[in-house]
Every structure is written in structure tokens, then in C-alpha cells.
Amino acid sequence: MDRLYVIGRDEVPQRITLGAGESLRATFVFPSRVDSALDLTVDLTGPGAELDLAGIFVCADAETVDIRMNVRHLAGGCKSNQLFRGVADGRSNVRFDGLVYVAPDAQKTEAHQSCNSLLLNEGARVQTDPQLEIYADDVICSHGAAIGYLSADEMFYMRSRGIPEEEARRLQIMSFLSPVLSRLPESAYSLIGFQR
């Protein structure tokens, strides 16, 4: 299954269960300039279940984005991967709370989570709480989270090649978002303020 969910437009499940051998590839878009929230629990309940989940947000104004992810490996031999990329500009407020839970005996679990954000304005705020709660030993789990700003070196490099500042900034943001952006149909770009 390959699904695209636009928060506020599509009906978004609160709980997804993936049984043995089932897989889901889902991408969540948090549209710009509106408050949006996602509170999702994904249970991996049978061996071989695979989750490949991504989310993207580009906050431009004073919106709040509230993401609560709870991925639970209840059976062994499952894989999950979560990839979130976002931008907080204006006076926006972003909160990401992502738990990966690995139950006792859920051996041979592979779980990864990454949530990186760009903070572009003084009034904006990002809080990221990635969490790993692991009760089995034969696992490979990781999470990464970063909150930073655009690289001045990159900016200078592009401008020295004649790219105007605004365009360079747009390109940098696109490059930062690209791991998730590449999963979207171009028709969805306008939802997050990118014109094609």
C-alpha cells in the first residue's frame, strides 16, 4: 500500500495495524498556514510487517503543527522507518513527539526514526521528543533529530554562482526537504507553498 494523506483534507486513521507480511508506505503532508495535528499509533503485530512512513511540514505563518507518533513493534522480525522533515518560519510552533516501542520478545526488530527541522525565524519554535523504549535485545534501533538553520556556506556558494538570495533560500529548503519531498506528487507541492 502506498498512501498520501493531507492533514485536514483527508480522513487520517488514528490507529493502523500491520499484521504478518503486511506493509504500508504512507506520507503525511501538513499544509502551510493552518494548524494541523497528527496522532497516530501503528502496531506491527506479525513477523515481516513493514512500515515506511514520512511526513513534511512547511510552517510559514503562526500555525501550530503537533505530531504524535507511536510505532509499536509488538512482534519480532518487523521493520519500521519514519522520516520527518519540516520548516518553521514566522511565529509557528512545531511539536514532534515520536515513540518507538519494542515489546519484550520482539526480536530481530529494525526501527529507525529521523526528524529534522529548520528554524527560520526568531518567533518560531520547534520541540522534538524522539523516544526509544526497548525491551528486546536483538534489535537495531536508532533515532536522529536535529533542529538548525540554513547553511551560510551553501547560500554563499549559490549566490556566487549568480543565484539570487530568495531563490537560493528556496533551493536550500527544497534540498533539505527532498528526502520527503521526493515522495510527493507534484500536485501536492502547492500545499506546502512550493509552486511548480
Partner 1 sequence: MDEKLVDITSKQYKEGFVTDVEQEYVPKGLSEQIIRQISAIKQEPQWLLEFRLDAFRKWQKMTPPTWGHLKLPEIDFQDIIYYAAPKKDADRPKEIDPKLQETFDKLGIPISEREVLAGVKSKVAVDAVFDSVSVTTTFRKALAEKGIIFCSFSEAVREHPELVRKYLATVVPSGDNFYAALNSAVFSDGSFCYIPKGVKCPMDLSSYFRINASGTGQFERTLIVADEGSQVSYMEGCTAPMRDEHQLHAAVVEIVVEAGADVRYSTVQNWYPGDDQGRGGILNLVTKRGICKGEGSHLSWTQVETGSAITWKYPSTILKGDNSASEFYSVALTNNYQQADTGTKMIHLGRNTKSRIISKGISAGHSQNSYRGLVRMNPGAAGARNYSQCDSLLIGSLCGAHTFPVIQNSCPKAIVEHEATTSKISEDQLFYCNQRGIPPEEAVGLIVNGYAKEVLQRLPMEFAIEAQKLLSVSLEGSIG
As measured in angstroms, the least distance from the Cβ of 158 to partner 1 is 19
Tell me how long the chain is: 196
* By CB under 8 A, residue 62 contacts partner 1: no
Stretch that binds partner 1, among 44-52, 60-68, 99-107, 188-196 (CB under 8 A): 99-107
Binder of partner 1 out of 4, 6, 37, 145 (CB under 8 A): 145
Closest-CA residue to 48 (of 9, 28, 18) = 18
Which listed residue (70, 107, 163, 172) binds partner 1 by CB under 8 A? 107
User: How many residues in the shown chain lie near partner 1 by CB under 8 A?
Assistant: 34
Residue 124 as a binder of partner 1 (CB under 8 A): the answer is yes
What residues contact residue 69 under an 8 Å CB cut-off, 6+ apart?
A: 38, 40, 42, 53, 82, 96, 97, 98, 99, 113
DSSP string, 142-170: EEEEEEE---HHHHHHHHHTT--HHHHHH
In the bound state with partner 1, the residue whose beta carbon lies nearer, of 34 and 134, is 134
Exposure string for 48-63, b = 16+ CB within 10 A, e = fewer: bbbbbbbbbbbbbeeb
Q: Are 59 and 90 in contact (CB under 8 A)?
A: yes
Question: Buried b / exposed e across 111-135, counting CB within 10 Å, b at 16+?
Answer: bebbbbbbbbeeebebebebeeebe
Three cell numbers at 135?
525491551
Q: Does 184 bind partner 1 (CB under 8 A)?
A: no
Minimum CB separation from partner 1 for residue 121, in Å? 6
Nearer to partner 1, 62 or 146 (CB): 146
147 binds partner 1 (CB under 8 A): yes
Alpha carbon separation from 37 to 68, 69, 158 (Å, rounded): 8, 11, 35
Q: Does 119 bind partner 1 (CB under 8 A)?
A: yes
| 140 binds partner 1, rule: CB under 8 A | yes
Q: How far is the CB of 111 from partner 1 (least distance, A)?
A: 9
- The answer to whether 165 contacts partner 1 (rule: CB under 8 A) is no
**27 makes contact with partner 1 (CB under 8 A):** no
Near partner 1 by CB under 8 A: residue from 131, 175, 178, 190: 131
Amino acid (one-letter) located at 145: A
Interface with partner 1 (CB under 8 A):
104-105, 107, 117, 119-122, 124-149
